[in-house]
Structure 1
Amino acid sequence: MRVVHCGKFYPPQYNGGLEAVMVGLNAELVRRGISVTAVVSAWRSPGGVDEVAGVRVVRAAAWGVLFSQPVAPSLPSLLRREPGDLVHLHHPNPLGDWAASRDRGRPLVITHHSEIVRQRFLWPAVGPVVRAALQRARLVAIGSEQLLRTSQELRGFESKARVIPFGIDTARFALTPFVATRARELRARWQDRPVVLGVGRLVGYKGYDVLLQASRGLDALVVIVGTGPEERRLRALAGGRSNVVFAGHVPDEELPAYYHACDVFCLPSLSIAEAFGMVLLEAMACGKPLVTTALPTGVSAVNRDGQTGLVVQPGDAGALAEALAALLADQPLGASMGAAAKVVQAREYTAELMGERYVALYREALA
């Protein structure tokens, strides 16, 4: 079987939630002997072809990014030229939607990672393109029942939908001697204070401004890993407080130590733009309790309120502060929820399970 993915970007040039899913899935496909190509846009570099962990990556030269969409005119022709038994499109990605809808010589499957939210004002223009891709697709994978029930874009296409939860390579987050040593170093740097960790791009829908408001008066250090366009505003909002650390970009090999060094993991997202939250799975693999917001997406499927963590209403800084304080004050409760989170992740959200389910999806599409 030969699979050709069509995405926005691909590591190591760019790392986001969608890209993390592609990399995790492709590792499983390669492990199963499946030929994998990814056709994507280049990120701040010329286009070209390279290989990443057994995956042929074809990067289309891009003129820039407009409304979160790379402007890469050559991507459709590059996709058509790549041989494969089927095309796997990763949405949201209007240019990819357009390219895949016109690649008519082979079956199309789509992973609907999330709705188009921040650029919804463009829907009159991009909506017909998205729907054309959905009409041509044989099957559409989506990460959770919650997002399927609330999706506006998939209305009328429910019969094509298959729920396939995302997953991670659990072994990557094991407490190895190196990770344990690095975690102890981080704890020492943070003066062994209780730690609330957030990991993600610093963009508006992530809700880090609400976390900063909630952290006022909280007897804990808030560590935020990531960079993005909101960084300057968030730093100004923090006002140089000693209980807030902006860790910036952390390399992949260092990230497990940050998870193991924290007491509670927080994802305070504000909108359905947070369709799943891969970082939740990473924190769960490290045995950490979660505090998340009540969103009608995969976030609510992953974090089970009262079992793997606590759930509050989006944008409610007071409720967020109370939930964080409750877990920090009751260490046995936090440990119990963290242990439950680790079990749930290992049982339901592994890359191996995701790969197995996608291979079955491909076979159904090819039948």
Structure 2
Amino acid sequence: MRVLQFYRTYLPETHGGVEEAIHQICLSTRKHGVVQRVLTMAHVQNVETLELPEGQVIRVPVQAEPASCSMGVEAFRVYREQAEWADLIHIHYPWPFADLVHLLSGAQKPVLVTYHSDIIRQSLLEKLYAPLRWLFFRKVGRFVATSPNYLATSRLLQRLQPRVEVVPLGLAPESYQPPSEEALRAVEQSYGSGFFLFIGVLRYYKGLRFLIEAAARTGLPVVIAGHGPEQKALREQAERVGAKSVQFAGFVSDDVKQALMARAAAIVFPSCERSEAFGVTLLEGQLHGLPLITCEIGTGTSFVNQHGETGLVVPARSSEALAGAMQQLHENPEKARRMGLAGRERFDSVFSGNQVGERYLNLYRKLLEPDSI
């Protein structure tokens, strides 16, 4: 079985939740004999192909990025060529350019769409885009929601029933290497241990301004790892409010990320908008046996993190609530330890790469066998 993954950006150029989700889907389905290719956009001069463990990655030059929607004229040609190779096409939403590319390609292969998030910020542009989206959606055989929470709260996904199935994101533990001694020493020297850890792209919807305020209230150590458009404003805020316990690690390598997880007391994930549909970092935290602190925003973050069992779920946009949750875990280390262990058990039972890979494999087979749809 040959599957073409299609999304606007991918590793190694960018590192985000959707990129990691595609990476893990490819790894977990390859165990079952699925040959995967990833077609994506990148800041390259010419079309190029990378050979990665998960499969070939074909990168097409980006020529424009209006409202973060990557576009490039060569994508039309390369997509037609790769669609001919594939038995099935797996597209990751939202990316309006993908809808146009597929519709103009004339490809007749079965299509699966993983629906990662509603379009939240560009509401006016979404209204203009809606007719194109519905033309594309008519061509889609199945949609995947990444959590029952998101399916229940997304009006658009509700309109797509009964073509929607829930398949959570997952991770293959063997795809993560333990941190090196060098990385562990570097983390300990720079940040110590027992800190509250955030890892991710520094975007508006991550709610990090509330985390910085919570750190200023409590004085508890916080490490923010990652870079992004909010980086300068967050550093300025931390200095302004006197959040001296907050340290910014910037972009970190996979080795350093694993070392940070190994030395952290908990993962704190203060995302405050529905743009945060799941949170792969939460799964990585559970893989390391860490308790989680998240905010209730009606998405998969509260599917991963079960309040009172694997961590604490607090109201969104409340620095006071975040501070209270951090203080609670800090003052009750045994409770935090039990939550971390429960999180690892939940990871093994719900989010393991093998289970997710098998569920996607079953979906691929359904789409390739019309009588079963």
TM-score (norm 1): 0.94
What residue in structure 1 maps to residue 27 of structure 2?
A: 27
Greater shift, 164-173 or 355-364, is seen at: 164-173
CA distance, structure 2, for counterparts of residue 353 and residue 173 of structure 1: 17
2 CA distance for matches of 1:49 and 1:182?
A: 31
In structure 2, the partner of 1:220 is: 220
Deviations 1:149-196 (A, max 9, x none): 11122232111001001101223457x4x456743552343344x311
Match of 2:211 in 1: 211
Partner of 2:197: 197
Q: 1:1-367 counterparts in 2 under 5 A?
A: 1-43=1-43, 46-82=46-82, 83-102=85-104, 103-173=106-176, 176=178, 178-179=179-180, 182-183=183-184, 185-192=186-193, 194-239=194-239, 241-367=243-369
Distance 1:249 1:46, change over 3 A: farther
Gapped regions of structure 2 (runs ≥ 5)? none
Deviation of the 1:46 alpha carbon = 4.0
2:350 maps to amino acid: E
**CA deviation digits over 1:227-247, x for unaligned, max 9?**
001000000000074311110
Cα 1:3–1:172 change in 2 (3 A) is closer
Residue pair 1:100, 1:108 contacting (<8 A) in 2 also: no
One-letter identity of the residue aligned with 1:279:
T
Q: Equivalents in 2 of 1:242, 1:294: separation in Å? A: 27
Q: Which amino acid aligns with 1:107?
A: P
Residues 237-280 of structure 1 deviation map (CA, whole Å, 9 limit, x = unaligned): 00074311110111123211111111011000011100000000
Give how far 1:96 is off.
Answer: 0.8
- CA–CA separation in structure 1 for the residues paired with 2:192 and 2:67: 42
Of Structure 1 and Structure 2, the greater helix share is in 2
Within 2, Cα distance between the matches of 1:74 and 1:316? 46
Deviation at 1:129?
2.0
Contact in 1 for aligned 2:112/2:142 (Cα 8 Å):
yes
- Range with greater deviation from structure 2 (69-78 or 268-277): 69-78
User: What SS does the aligned partner of 1:165 have?
Assistant: coil
SS of 1:60's partner is strand
Deviation at 1:56, TM superposition (A): 1.6
1:216 is paired with a residue whose SS is helix
Change in Cα spacing, 1:166 to 1:45, as seen in structure 2 (3 Å) is farther
Aligned-residue sequence identity (percent) comes to 29
Task: Indicate the SS of the match to 2:22.
Answer: helix
Q: Secondary structure at the match of 1:9?
A: coil
Secondary structure at the counterpart of residue 273 of structure 2: coil
- Structure 1 vs Structure 2 CA RMSD: 1.7
Contact 2:200–2:281 (CA under 8 A) maintained in structure 1? yes
Residues 180-221 of structure 1: CA distance to partner in whole angstroms, max 9, x if unpaired?
6743552343344x3110011001000001100111132421
Shift of 1:115: 0.8
CA distance, structure 2, for counterparts of residue 218 and residue 255 of structure 1:
25
Question: Which secondary structure state, in structure 1, belongs to the residue aligned with residue 326 of structure 2?
Answer: helix
| Distance in 1 of aligned mates of 2:272 and 2:296 | 9
> Partner letter of residue 183 of structure 1?
L
- 1:354, CA displacement in angstroms? 1.1
2: CA distance between counterparts of 1:2 and 1:126? Answer: 30
| Aligned residue identity for 1:137 | V
Paired residue secondary structure (1:141): strand
- The amino acid that maps onto 2:91 is L
User: Following superposition, which runs of at least 4 residues in structure 1 exceed 4 angstroms of deviation?
Assistant: 178-181
Is the 8 Å Cα contact of residues 89 and 100 (structure 1) preserved in structure 2? no
Contact 1:173–1:282 (CA under 8 A) maintained in structure 2: no
C-alpha distance in 2, partners of 1:89/1:54?
A: 17
Contact 1:47/1:62 (<8 A) preserved: no
CA distance in 2, matches of 1:115, 1:200: 19
1:13 deviation in Å? 1.2
Paired residue total: 364
Residue 44 (structure 1) shift: 5.5
Letter in 2 for 1:118: R
The SS at the match of 1:70 is coil
